[in-house]
Chains A and B, each alone.
Chain A
Amino acid sequence: MVGSRTSAQQRPPVIQIQDLRYRWQAGDNDVIAIERLEIATGERVFIEGPSGSGKTTLLNLLAGVLKPSAGRLLVLGADLMTLPGTKRDQFRSDHIGFVFQSFNLLPYLSLLENVLLACRFSRKRQERIAAANVTPADEAARLLTHLGLDHQTLAGRGVHQLSTGQQQRVAVARALIGQPELVICDEPTSALDADARDAFLTLLSAETQAAGATLIFVSHDRSLASGFDRSISLNAVNHGKGSGR
């Protein structure tokens, strides 16, 4: 584990944070105040933090939904401090896959359409799929099969008829389609039982690695940290007060 960490850090960082600060309004206390944090390409990082520690805020910052109040935040070398909002949205759709805690899927889209949703807003993802000489639908089907979902049998069913574990795996397929460099998971296993959780973690790890993506996994559950290259305690690095929400 130590070895992989060293080798990972020799590659250029996916995320570089220096004196990053975020507050909801000027005059408020900092929610996020991180002096220094780097995550290297290909690394699989576990960020642990109890609720209210500013996890969600940090993820929104990394994903470019929120704009930092001060400091330096580079994601894949792009300065999210200076990118305007629409560019940050474009950046997110091109380079970041996202998996939520639960209910990741739009109920009115089919399994395949939910996966393809990630390509809808990103030409880069479409181009990467085209470069591999496959159609987006084929690629989505391939990912679903890899994740243990037979989309042809499941296709007829509404998304809401899938089990929570299946839904989470569809969300992973959506995050991975078109090979984004970074995959961020926000408590993706908290709605799963122990067996499903372990199976999900193994799949997630294998698939992100196969796709060559960096994985950031956020959870309050410290016991999940063992399968990752590195574990960061948010309370230790964040000197802000957290969201307090």
Chain B
Amino acid sequence: MNAPLLRLAIKSLLNRKTTAILTIAAIALSVTLLLGVEKTRVGARASFSNTISGTDLIVGARSGSIQLLLYSVFRIGDATNNISWESYEDIRDWPEVAWSVPISLGDSHQGFRVVGTARDYFRHYNYGRRQALIFGSGQPFEDLFDAVIGADVAAELGYTVGDNIVLAHGAGAFGFTKHADKPFMISGIIAKTGTPIDRSVHVSLEAIEAIHIGWQDGRQPRPGQAASATEARSLALQPKAVTAVLVGLKSRMASFAVQRRINTYGNEALLAILPGVALQQLWDAIGGAETALLAISIMVVVTGFMGMTAVSLSALNERRREMAILRSVGARPAHIFLLLVLESGVLAAAGALAGAAALYAALCIAQPIIQTRFGFYLPIDWPILWELKLLGLTIVAGCISGFVPALLAYRRSLADGMAIRV
């Protein structure tokens, strides 16, 4: 008996197309919001925890642990201070330290951050489940003016190995001053990782020194003080400072001891963070906001259903004749109840599906923007079980909100019978 009633419900809704479509649109929007918030939450969390692995400590100048994590790993924001090369060398030689990779930030190329680092970076930087970086083409930098770019940099700017690029001073989307006198050649492109590596340009620490010869406090060198690219090759290019150091330990057991030792380092105010802990802290910091966001989007879904219920209730008076006709051909009051619940269910299901479809469409558009602006890679996957559950819950909630008009129609059809009072 349900299938014919469902068909009746759908036909009845089609008869009231305008209100039905508006109701579906309202529900779809709210579902898009709900799923979007949920997907962002899950995606951001996965993206976070996948960004770096295998690194036991990140060392930077003393600031906040989240700030250090943001600029050293996510390339968001800037360091307030540097680590002196002497401190780096000291820590590098500690017996607990298995490997260490210094990084130097501050320049950019077409909005992509430039990372000055050592060749060891490509060996030791892991992401996801201890995946190493793989070169899609080319190889690590060899020459002083070689650069290794991430997959997104290559894709968005159309670069291939052998192309020449010019770095800009500063980290804006449009660098103010360019290191035009010292162009770099792309030596390699790293295969897609889904991490901020994809959006980074890697050069050697010496190259960072070379392009800044004669620069003072971020100002371009005065005429006569600059060195040409060829001259730079013959100069001593030992960096005086680096922005941060990625450290791998021989034993993870030593993490806390080494961290304490760095945090209480006498010669310089340093900060060491455990990436996993800092990621968790960062997550906790924004997680609360996201819970609030989730609550708000649930409220929006509820509002959508209240709108649907109101529309359904207001149409009920005009539909008394419809109910009387159905009663006259033998429909029970229970059928009337079910009919109205099914109508709400159909609206909710259509809204939920349209909302999910809209979300995926929006994701396709927003994914690159989110990655550019926030460095999060939102994977466009099939809905996970939890999202399917959310969709299911939405439809169930829609049916339940249909109980209100359904109950009223039920009671009326008991009282009215086949009498049509219009």
Q: A60-B417, A63-B418, A66-B417 are in contact. Are A94 and B14 (CB under 8 A)?
A: no
Residues of A near B325 (CB, < 8 A) are 100, 104-106, 117
Q: For residue A100, give the distance in angstroms from its CB to the closest CB of chain B.
A: 7
Are A86 and B418 interface neighbours, CB within 8 A?
no
Is A109's beta carbon under 8 Å from chain B? Answer: yes
Q: For residue B397, give the distance in angstroms from its CB to the closest CB of chain A.
A: 26
| Chain A 86-111 interface residues, beta-carbon cutoff 8 Å to B | 86, 89-90, 92-94, 98, 100-101, 103-109
Is A112's beta carbon under 8 Å from chain B? Answer: no
Q: Which of A60, A85, A93 contacts B333 (CB 8 A)?
A: A85
When C-beta atoms are compared, the residue in chain A nearest to B419 turns out to be A56
Residues of B near A103 (CB, < 8 A) are 321, 420
Is A118's beta carbon under 8 Å from chain B? Answer: yes
Q: For residue A211, give the distance in angstroms from its CB to the closest CB of chain B.
A: 16
When C-beta atoms are compared, the residue in chain B nearest to A103 turns out to be B321
Residues of B near A174 (CB, < 8 A) are 329
| Chain B 162-180 interface residues, beta-carbon cutoff 8 Å to A | none
When C-beta atoms are compared, the residue in chain B nearest to A90 turns out to be B330
Are A86 and B330 interface neighbours, CB within 8 A?
no
Is A122's beta carbon under 8 Å from chain B? Answer: yes
Q: Whole-angstrom distance between the alpha carbons of A205 and B325 in the complex? A: 22
User: A-B contact count, CB below 8 Å?
Assistant: 68
Q: A106-B325, A108-B12 are in contact. Are A89 and B417 (CB under 8 A)?
A: no
**In the complex, which of the residues B1, B11, B14 has the most CB atoms of chain A within 10 Å of its own CB atom?**
B11
Are B14 and A63 interface neighbours, CB within 8 A?
no
Q: Whole-angstrom distance between the alpha carbons of A118 and B329 in the complex? A: 5
Is B366's beta carbon under 8 Å from chain A? Answer: no
Give the size category of A's interface with B.
20 to 34
Are B330 and A92 interface neighbours, CB within 8 A?
yes
Is A201's beta carbon under 8 Å from chain B? Answer: no
Q: Interface residues of B: mostly helix, strand, loop or mixed? A: helix
When C-beta atoms are compared, the residue in chain A nearest to B324 turns out to be A100
Are B417 and A120 interface neighbours, CB within 8 A?
no
Residues of A near B15 (CB, < 8 A) are 107-108
Are B14 and A108 interface neighbours, CB within 8 A?
yes
Is B62's beta carbon under 8 Å from chain A? Answer: no
When C-beta atoms are compared, the residue in chain B nearest to A124 turns out to be B330
Residues of B near A107 (CB, < 8 A) are 15
Q: A65-B417, A103-B321, A108-B14 are in contact. Are A98 and B331 (CB under 8 A)?
A: no
Is A15's beta carbon under 8 Å from chain B? Answer: no
Are B4 and A59 interface neighbours, CB within 8 A?
no
Q: Whole-angstrom distance between the alpha carbons of A118 and B333 in the complex? A: 16
Are B4 and A120 interface neighbours, CB within 8 A?
yes
Q: For residue A7, give the distance in angstroms from its CB to the closest CB of chain B.
A: 31
Q: For residue B323, give the distance in angstroms from its CB to the closest CB of chain A.
A: 10
Q: For residue A62, give the distance in angstroms from its CB to the closest CB of chain B.
A: 11
Are A65 and B330 interface neighbours, CB within 8 A?
no
Residues of B near A106 (CB, < 8 A) are 12, 322, 325-326
Q: Which of B12, B331, B418 contacts A60 (CB 8 A)?
A: B418
Residues of B near A59 (CB, < 8 A) are 418
Q: Which of A94, A98, A105, A120 contacts B418 (CB 8 A)?
A: A98
When C-beta atoms are compared, the residue in chain A nearest to B335 turns out to be A121
Give B13-28 as 1s and 0s: 1 = Cβ < 8 Å from A's Cβ atoms.
0110000000000000
Q: Whole-angstrom distance between the alpha carbons of A120 and B6 in the complex? A: 12
Are A63 and B332 interface neighbours, CB within 8 A?
no
Residues of B near A66 (CB, < 8 A) are 417
Q: Whole-angstrom distance between the alpha carbons of A153 and B63 in the complex? A: 83
Residues of A near B327 (CB, < 8 A) are 65, 89
When C-beta atoms are compared, the residue in chain B nearest to A113 turns out to be B11
Are A121 and B330 interface neighbours, CB within 8 A?
yes
Q: Whole-angstrom distance between the alpha carbons of A90 and B335 in the complex? A: 12
Q: For residue A136, give the distance in angstroms from its CB to the closest CB of chain B.
A: 12
When C-beta atoms are compared, the residue in chain A nearest to B12 turns out to be A108
Residues of A near B11 (CB, < 8 A) are 108-109
Q: A86-B334, A108-B15 are in contact. Are A100 and B420 (CB under 8 A)?
A: yes
Q: For residue B135, give the distance in angstroms from its CB to the closest CB of chain A.
A: 64
The 10 closest A-B pairs by CB, nearest first: A93-B330, A108-B15, A65-B417, A121-B330, A98-B328, A89-B332, A60-B417, A108-B11, A118-B329, A56-B419
Besides A106-B12, A121-B335, 11 other A-B contacts (C-beta < 8 A): A59-B418, A65-B327, A86-B334, A89-B333, A92-B328, A98-B418, A100-B324, A100-B418, A121-B330, A122-B329, A174-B329
> 27 A-B contacts, Cβ less than 8 Å apart?
A56-B419, A65-B417, A65-B418, A66-B417, A86-B334, A89-B327, A92-B330, A93-B329, A93-B331, A98-B328, A98-B418, A100-B328, A100-B420, A104-B325, A105-B325, A106-B322, A106-B326, A107-B15, A108-B11, A108-B12, A108-B14, A109-B11, A117-B326, A120-B4, A120-B329, A121-B330, A121-B331
